Structure 1
Amino acid sequence: MNDVPRNDHHDAAAPDAVHDHRELGRELGLFGTDPLIGAGLPYWLPDGAAVRHALEEYIRGEERAAGYRHVYSPVLGKRELYEISGHWAHYREDMFPPMEVGGEQMVLRPSLCPHHAVLYRSQSRSYRELPLRMAELGGMFRAELSGVLGGLTRVRAIQLNDAHIFCTPGQVEQEAAGALELIGRAYAAMGIRAARYRLSLPGPGGKYAAAPEAWQRATEALVGVLERLGLPYEAEQGEAAFYGPKIDVQVADHAGRESTLSTVQVDFHQPERFGLRYVGADGAKHRPVMVHRSVVGSVERAVAHLVEVHGGAFPAWLAPVQVAVLPVGAEQAADAEAFAARCAALGLRAEVSHPQQGSLGARVRQARLVPYQAVIGAREAAAGLVAVRLRDGRRPAPLPGPELAARVAAVVGGHGARLWDEGAEDDAAAG
């Protein structure tokens, strides 16, 4: 990745208007809140859950392809766990208070890294296993003040796309670079771009783990990665994690306000605190380095940004409904249902909009954000064809139902920005 990821989502009907995800997300029926559930605890409606599920499955697949192994860990831990990790000393103000359970103090976790450190040390490790890339889409909790909560961007219950790479010191730069390249590919697929890259360093007066030599080594490694990839960056003091420096990938919202979406961090602190070891080629025990990385950050913040960037016209693979099937009359209802079922069998999210729901024009307008509108009239039904309208206004030639469903599934499965495979269209015309 030698440049800032660009927004190449040419086919999307992304409007030029400014969007606030808090308003548009509710208008689109993606999420909501209720006082009985509590502030900073949004719930996901079916369309929002579909976007979230697609994003989670995409990132899991990309991680598997990059050599990550997925785990599950509890959202609770004993207070002692966070005392060892350093969270209790350095981060306690942002954590929920402990709960007394069976004479022990249990805490809702503010981070996944202590759990992953424990998973690493659950068995003896050899240098041959490293780098060990451990990933989890897991819940964590922050005791955010009511005044800073808003929509999906600042919440109290967070679903984080997190991973920790346990590696030798000599593998740190390569693993951090691989994480940044994975972030670049994900941004291209989501049709978003980074506003800038920030090298986040400790500042005066902050609560940081005291290990000057480790901080220097970690900072040098991250600077080396940024320079190796040719990424412009700005160093800022006071933005580091308490245990080490990090690269923050910043995105900007509709008002130009920045937030961190993705991050790569180098941590010498927690491997020391948890006594992590691996047996080296020399037969001696050595300390691994922990590289923290999150490709899409919290699912909540990622979806908020996607709503604002695309105005609801998501990339086809992320759209809540990917195919709107529109029978012109009641006589084509059975054909429409059969085509929708064929799409569903290929993993597509397809819904039939029946004539009783309005005129064809009204149903087309209602489905304006759906990437593909499949129209079946009397002529198409008689010929075994389906007419397709793309969200951007194009109307490719009608195709047999099985072929159209397969074409759409291939484009969606590629997690690309375009709505239509022009090369396949050209091949069909030539044939």
Structure 2
Amino acid sequence: MTDVLVRSPGASAPGLRLAVTPPSPADREETVVYDHRKLGRELNLFATDPLIGAGLPYWLPDGATVRHTLEEYIRAAERRAGYDHVYSPVLGKRELYEISGHWAHYRDDMFPPMDLGGEQVVLRPSLCPHHAVIYRSRAHSYRELPLRMAELGGMYRSELSGVLGGLTRVRAIQLNDAHIFCTPDQVADETRSALEMIRRAYEDLGIVPARYRLSLPGPGGKYVADPEKWRRSTALLTEVLDASGLPYEAAEGEAAFYGPKIDVQITDAAGRESTLSTVQIDFHQPERFDLHYIGPDGAKHRPVIIHRSIVGSVERVVAHLLDHHGDALPPWLAPTQLAILPLSETELPAAHAVADRCATLGLRARITTPDAGSLGARVRETRRIPYQAVIGPRETTHNHLSLRLRDGRRPAPGSVEEILTRIDALITAHSTELWPVGS
């Protein structure tokens, strides 16, 4: 049985307080329950095929646009926060995972080794061993730390077929992962910074966390046997959570095999819970890989690794966005952001001019031509697109756009430049709002 200890918030830290209000059963009854598996196919975002295999979805063009936009958002956020990006192979020698501890503690969730040229290679279940090897590829001074290494990389889990479903449980995972190599006295600040990055990302994505969980080890041989390292890392995470003012629960049996972690839990409209984001403290792998830095005293010192993922896997976060927002993704994530609807062939040149201006601004626009049907039919066809711009004779004459919003509102007409600049500003700001109320 999982031991759960509810901790009340301590003193508030600026920028870290989040509204954590899970929906009540009564609220859930009034909420439309979206299913990302059904929506993913209806919206032509992703699909599966028996020839590719269970738990291995592929992304269609609109889904690839959502994924690319999300990945670029995360990379930009990480660059602003001082992360350096790397690429590492999805394969590694079995010996790599023996050193990291994955082979001893995580083997049942890994794909079997492949014999290659007299040695065995494995599809990686995690990116951290590769990043540890990259860190130790050259010497480091304490002046370089914290060293923040990030990668949107593939990893592979041998999930049982019975638990696979949609994008939430898959065998090929694209993870927003990062590892911070730091001194022991930098751990608390770096952990707080990671939590703040999670807060900002959730705000931009329109996600509300259900709860925060301090995930601790449980009984059994699943965990690295080093009580002192567990005590130190647990104390550090507890200190950060208590200082942040965030309510959290401590749960045994949920830690990574090498250390405790902060898990950010989410729920869908049906009340199903899963982990999206994590922050973990690791004293184990720096020792296993003999990582060190040269301190101010000229001696070698052992760094600490903070594992953190801001939005978890691309697959799971897209699943949650669909389960949460349905077919109304935040405008900055929508595959097509503006539908351009010329009334007749006469307005097609004006429609193409608007599309060209959208391309210059970086807006994703699509012209739905008159031969696709009546205006009413085209409006219904594009109703899921955040913005619809109708262009008739009056709009062409005055170089105006008449805008319709996905939620049914119709802002006052304005010049092409004014309307597009306003949409671009909302999207650049990663706003979840379609249009300012009252405008």
| TM-score for the superposition, normalised by structure 1 | 0.95
Q: 2:203 aligns with which of 184, 188, 196?
A: 188
Instruction: Specify the alignment match of 1:126 in structure 2.
Output: 141
- Does 1:153 find its partner at 2:168? yes
**What corresponds to 2:17 in structure 1?**
3
CA–CA distance in structure 1, aligned partners of residues 251 and 97 of structure 2: 27
Alpha-carbon separation, structure 2, partners of 1:6 and 1:349: 33
Corresponding residue for residue 236 of structure 2:
221
Residues of 1 paired with 2:80 and 2:221: CA distance? Answer: 38
Render the CA deviation track for 1:342-370: whole Å, top value 9, x for unaligned: 10121111101111111111111221121
The answer to whether the Cα contact below 8 Å between 1:5 and 1:184 also exists between their aligned partners in 2 is no
Q: Does 1:53 align with 2:65?
A: no
Distance 1:344 1:37 in 2: 35
- Deviation of 1:4 (Å): 2.6
Contact map agreement 2:32 2:269 (CA 8 A) in 1 = no
Q: Which residue of 1 aligns with 2:26?
A: none
Q: CA deviation at 1:422?
A: 6.1
Q: Is 2:334 the counterpart of 1:314? A: no
1:44 corresponding residue in structure 2: 59
2:431 alignment counterpart:
416
Cα distance in structure 1, aligned partners of 2:117 and 2:282: 33
**What SS does the aligned partner of 1:185 have?**
helix
Give 2:18's aligned amino acid. V
SS in 1 for 2:181: strand
SS in 1 for 2:269: coil
The residue correspondences of 1:270-419 to structure 2 (distance < 5 A) are 270-419=285-434
Contact preservation (8 Å) 2:31, 2:269? no
2: CA distance between counterparts of 1:228 and 1:316?
35
Distance 1:254 1:31 in 2: 21
2:192 aligned partner: 177
Measured in 1, the distance between the counterparts of 2:415 and 2:139 equals 57
Q: 1:22 aligns with which of 19, 37, 43?
A: 37
Instruction: Specify the alignment match of 2:27 in structure 1.
Output: none
Instruction: Give the aligned partner of residue 428 of structure 1.
Output: none
Cα deviation code 1:222-248 (max 9, x no counterpart): 011111110100011000000000000
Alpha-carbon distance between aligned partners in 1 of 2:17 and 2:143, rounded to the nearest angstrom: 33
SS of structure 1 residue aligned to 2:257: coil
**Residue 115 in structure 1 maps to residue 133 in structure 2:** no
Q: Distance in 2 between matches of 1:343 and 1:356?
A: 22
Identify if the C-alpha distance between structure 1 residues 400 and 159 changes in structure 2 by more than 3 Å, giving closer, same or farther: same
Provide the C-alpha distance between the structure 2 equivalents of 1:242 and 1:6, rounded to a whole number of angstroms.
28
SS of the residue corresponding to residue 133 of structure 1 reads strand
On the 8 A contact 2:181/2:304 being kept in 1, the answer is yes
Q: Look up the SS of the partner of 2:402 in the other structure.
A: strand
Secondary structure of the 1:231 match is: coil
* Unaligned segments of structure 2, at least 5 residues: 1-14, 22-29
Contact 2:16 2:199 (C-alpha < 8 Å) held by counterparts? no
Q: Distance in 2 between matches of 1:360 and 1:368?
A: 12
- Post-superposition Cα deviations, 1:76-126, rounded to whole Å, max 9, x if no partner, equal 001000000000000001000111111111100000000000011111000
SS in 2 for 1:338: helix
Q: What is the alpha-carbon distance in structure 1 between the residues aligned to residue 380 and residue 221 of structure 2?
A: 54
1:32 maps to which residue? 47
Look up the match of 1:88: 103
1:406 is displaced (CA, Å) by 1.8
Retained in 2: the 8 A contact 1:72–1:136? Answer: yes
1:144 to 149, 159, 162: 159
Equivalent residue in structure 1 for 2:224, among 209, 227, 236: 209
CA contact (8 A) 2:20 2:210 kept: no
Deviation at 1:3, TM superposition (A): 2.8
Q: Which runs of 5+ in 1 are unaligned?
A: 8-14, 426-431
SS of equivalent to 2:412 = coil
- Farther off after superposition, 47-56 or 109-118: 47-56
Are 1:233 and 2:248 counterparts?
yes
Instruction: Let me know the Cα RMSD of the aligned residues.
Output: 1.4
Give the structure 2 partner of residue 10 of structure 1: none
Q: Measure the CA separation in 1 of the matches of 2:172 and 2:352.
A: 39
Change in 2 beyond 3 A, CA 1:222/1:312? same
3-state DSSP of counterpart to 1:140: strand
1:192-240 CA-partner distances (Å, limit 9, x unpaired): 1101000000001141111111100000010111111101000110000
Which residue type is aligned with residue 415 of structure 1? H
What do the CA deviations read for 1:133-188 (whole angstroms, capped 9, x no partner)?
10000000000010000000000000000000000000101101100110010000
Residue 333 of structure 1: how far off its partner (Å): 1.2
- Runs of 4+ in structure 1 deviating by more than 4 angstroms, as ranges, are none
- Quick one: structure 1 residues 5 and 73, their matched pair in 2 at CA, closer, same or farther if it must change by over 3 Å? farther
Q: For residue 308 of structure 1, what is the amino acid of its counterpart?
A: D
Q: Deviations over 1:7-50 (max 9, x none)?
A: 9xxxxxxx941111111111111110000000000001111111
**Higher mean C-alpha displacement, 369-378 vs 386-395:** 386-395
Q: Assess if the C-alpha contact under 8 Å between 1:132 and 1:167 holds in 2.
A: yes
CA distance in 2, matches of 1:280, 1:84: 25
